Structures are given as C-alpha cells and as structure tokens.
Structure 1
Amino acid sequence: MKLYTYFRSSAAYRVRIALNLKEIEHELVAVNLLKSEQQSAEYLDKNPQGLLPALETNQGVLAQSMAILEYLEETYPQTPLLFGDAWQKAQIRNLCYAIACDIHPVDNLRVLKYLSTELGIDDEAKNAWYRYWVEVGFEKIELLLDAKYEYCVGDKPSLADVCLVPQVFNALRFNVDMTAYPKIAAIYERCNQLDAFINAAPQNQADAT
C-alpha cells in the first residue's frame, strides 16, 4: 500500500495518522505541492483529481482523505476509529465534517494560491483570511466538545481527532490564538503524546523542508 503525500498537507496528515493508529504497513511517496508535482502527467495518471492524498491499493487508487479514512476503517477494523453506537458514530462524523468540509476547503493551498495570484491579495490579508475561517470553525467545535472526554468523542482517539490535529497544526502555523479554544488545545497536546501522531507529524516526514 502506498500513500502519496506531502508533509504539510493536512488531508494527507489525517491519513498518515490513521495508518499509524491502525498499524497498517505502508509506503509514503512524496509529492511536492509547491512544485505542482500533483499536476504532473505521472501523478494525474494515478489520481485524475490532481490532489493529495491518494492511496494506492491492490484494487486501485483512492483519493479524497475522508473516503480513504472510511475505507481503512472498513477494511482494517482493528483499532477502530469510528466506534460506539449509531449516535456516537454520528458525533464523530459531525466533527470530522466540521473540519474537512467547513474549515479545510476554504483554507487549502489552492485557495490561498488563488487569493495571491489571481486576486492580488497580499500575504497579510491572505493570512487574515486563513485565521478568520479557522477561528469561525474552532468556535463552533469548541462548543461541541465535552470536557469530560480525553479526546474528541470518548477516551481514545477517533476519526475526529485524526481530522482535528492537522487542522490545529496549520492553525498554529498561521498564528491562531489557541488560548481561545482550551478543549481543542488540550486534545491536540494529548494526541501529540502518542507515537502514531508524533510519527505522522509534518516535521517528522522525510520530505519536510
């Protein structure tokens, strides 16, 4: 199994964490987003969407991080990341989608590039855009979290934590004040004491620059 990844891609970061938590043997293949390698003919042949991540399996190549995470959950049920009854699973998905559908799409690299290159937005305004949408999202997520839990939904990591940690990492890169979100910050710190999260972190990837 191969994961096409870029060290700072939050979507790829999610999948790296899940692969580690489930202890699935895999190979990481770096694709440099800053050099637009995701638009190369070789990569587009594997993933016509031209996005990261992509997971190459014996059955073919699967793109979109949430689809990959659900696939891993169904095919590698050990160390479940979507657990509990129907209600708890829905809560996990709710948090995942709040991040992957509401925050991430308006703050990903191609949107930020468009703001800079096509609309002529300077770096200060671009960074303010990023922070605004993260803060709007984090305000709501903070309200959804229950402080009685060690992690997002329960006392072990779930897909919600897998999605949250990369988003917090990026928020810190853009100087979001995490003191406004103590429950999120506590979960982030707790997750980053686990080897699966540590080994998936951007600074620990072979292509980190």
Structure 2
Amino acid sequence: MTMVRLDDAMVLGMNGAQRRAVREALVVAYPSRGRLEALLDGLDRSLAHYAADQLPLPDAVFAVMAGAKAEGWLPLLLAEAVAVTPDNRQLADVVGDFQVGDFQVGAATTGRAPTTPPSDWAVIGALADEFPDLPAARPLISQAGLPPGRQPAWNVADAETFWSEVHRLLVDGAVVDGWPKVLLAAHRARPANPVLAAAVSAAGATGNPGWREISGRP
C-alpha cells in the first residue's frame, strides 16, 4: 500500500468548499460506518471516539474530519483513505489538490477524468446506513411497486445484506424500473446524502418517464 505525500499546511488550511468536497468523496469511498471504522482502525483510532453510533454517515465523516483537523492528523487521514481505496477516482481527484510534487493522485498529465457514479456496492451501503431496519426500508420498496408478498423478510445479519437482496430482486426485473424508483424515493427522503444524490443523477431520474409515479412529474 503506497501512501501519498500531502502538504500538511494546505490540508489543514482547506476552505469550506474544499472540506465539503473531501467529505463527499469520503462518504462515497467509505459508504458504511463499518468501512469508515476500518479506515480509522488502521490509524489506531476509533470511530466511536468522534461520532456517536446514531449519527448518519455524512455527519460521522464530518465529525471525524473535524476531530482530525483539531488534533493535527487530517493529512494522515486523507493519505490513508486514498491508499486504502486507490481505485476511487473521486477521492483521488479531491485529495490530489493537496499532494506534494508535480503530479496529482489519480490525475493524468493531460487533465482529470470525470468523477464516476457511485457503484452499486456504495449505494447499498448508503441505503443500509440511512434505512437500517424494516420500518424505514419498507416504504421505499413499496413506492418502487414491489408487492408486500415479494418483499424480502428481515431475517438477515445486517442491513447491507437486506438491501443487497432488494437490489437483486429489482435488477432481475421484479418491478420495471424498480431499482431507480427506490433510489429516487431514498433521495427524496434523505436529500443530503451525497451517494444517493449521485446515484439518482447517474440514473437520469429527471429525464426518465418511468419515474412519474414517484416524482409526480407530468
């Protein structure tokens, strides 16, 4: 695992827009509390020390970054985050602004590649964090049009497993446009979640006639 060298002064001196971009990239790269906890464990730190269990993931990332900045290890956090997920283009592009040297993390000399949409794995993690039990999840699945008799039971180990099964059912055609409808319903319920917002944007929600039943668009 290769650690990038970052300019500590630039990282600690980020402005509000830069901090927001870093937070959003971290949420995409580490889309569940478990993965964020694993990242911090690699730095001999505990997520529970900075963020209570009930905090939504974006708020937990905010708290971790605030704590890391106050304690002076924010550059180390970002370097470790990139090293652990080297294929995440969004995080590499954002952190590349603070790299020491002529070349930026994940950026070619001819320019940066556009940010890629979140993976299904990242979206499932975001759904599990935002809708972690059956009472929270069922309204979204119902809005997608999946009949109650076909909805999976919550006899699983965790929320990610449940949402993985929902994803499998809908992508396999249980409901026409079922998965995009779930994404739109989730985004409307949690508009501040950047992973869900990116997933809806990537799915072309605003231009797809199949969204009418949920969006109310003519």
Q: Quick check: which one's strand share is greater?
A: 1
Q: Which has the higher contact order (CA 8 A, sep 6+)?
A: 1
Per the TM superposition, whether the score is higher than 0.5 is no
